[in-house]
Structure 1
């Protein structure tokens, strides 16, 4: 499958596909004319890459998962990376909740009764 076909089928730009190839996330053979020839399963791999990115994984983290073999991923390595991402999300949620509490406290001081007027910021 040529890069244009893969781009059309996956909804991923040609530039992104070239980046994935440079990072070792996908592989293509080269035809005699120099064009890339991606195996059919590359479309599924690209879908997994996009899903992982949507879940907050960096290309470096995805590369650790894919490693040198697109067909097989070490289940324990995947589980470790998923646990690490969950811990990262939990940390972010805790920080956001702390910020929310600080904002709510400030808001209560600025507008104690929800009345209009001027507020003193201290």
Structure 2
């Protein structure tokens, strides 16, 4: 009786993950060194990513587009996955980021106002 074939692997190669997410292979390797995604090594030494890595990389990219740093994403992911309600945990992170952005906008507006007040002064860098 022939030995049964092993179940086909659903893992993704780095090229497959790159194609599925639009992130370069170098970008994926960087995410891996930052601990944002994980791969196991196949017997040939190549990376093998689990299918859920596609959604995880998309999560990271979306968070980056929303202004989160990779450090914030890494820290936030650890917190989020430990919560019973992941959606509520992500919403809380988004609210915190929104508060930080609003504070930054207010600070930039104050700086802009101070600069605008000095335009046209005889010596713009003199104490106001």
Q: Report TM bin, short chain.
A: 0.7 to 0.9
TM-score normalised to the size of structure 2?
0.71
Structure 1 unmatched runs, 5+: 111-118
Report deviation, 1:8: 2.8
Structure 2 unmatched runs, 5+: 1-11
TM-score normalised to the size of structure 1?
0.74
Picking from 100, 103, 109, the partner of 1:88 is 100
| Counterpart for residue 116 of structure 1 | none
Mean CA deviation greater in 33-42 or 72-81: 72-81
Structure 2 CA distance, aligned partners of 1:26 and 1:48? 11
Structure 1 CA distance, aligned partners of 2:85 and 2:30? 21
| Counterpart for residue 51 of structure 2 | 40
Q: Does 1:19 align with 2:30?
A: yes
Q: Does 1:28 align with 2:30?
A: no
Question: How many residue pairs end up in the alignment?
Answer: 110
Structure 2 CA distance, aligned partners of 1:78 and 1:65? 8
Residues 32, 73 of structure 1: CA spacing in aligned structure 2 closer, same or farther, 3 A cutoff?
farther
Structure 2 CA distance, aligned partners of 1:75 and 1:24? 22
Report deviation, 1:58: 1.5
SS at match of 2:67: coil
| Structure 1 ranges of 4+ moved more than 4 A | none
Picking from 112, 115, 118, the partner of 1:100 is 112
Q: Does 1:63 align with 2:74?
A: yes
Report deviation, 1:24: 2.5
- Report the RMSD for the aligned CA atoms in angstroms: 2.4
Which string of whole-angstrom CA distances, capped at 9 and with x for unpartnered residues, describes residues 65-101 of structure 1? 32295xx873443233222211210111101111121
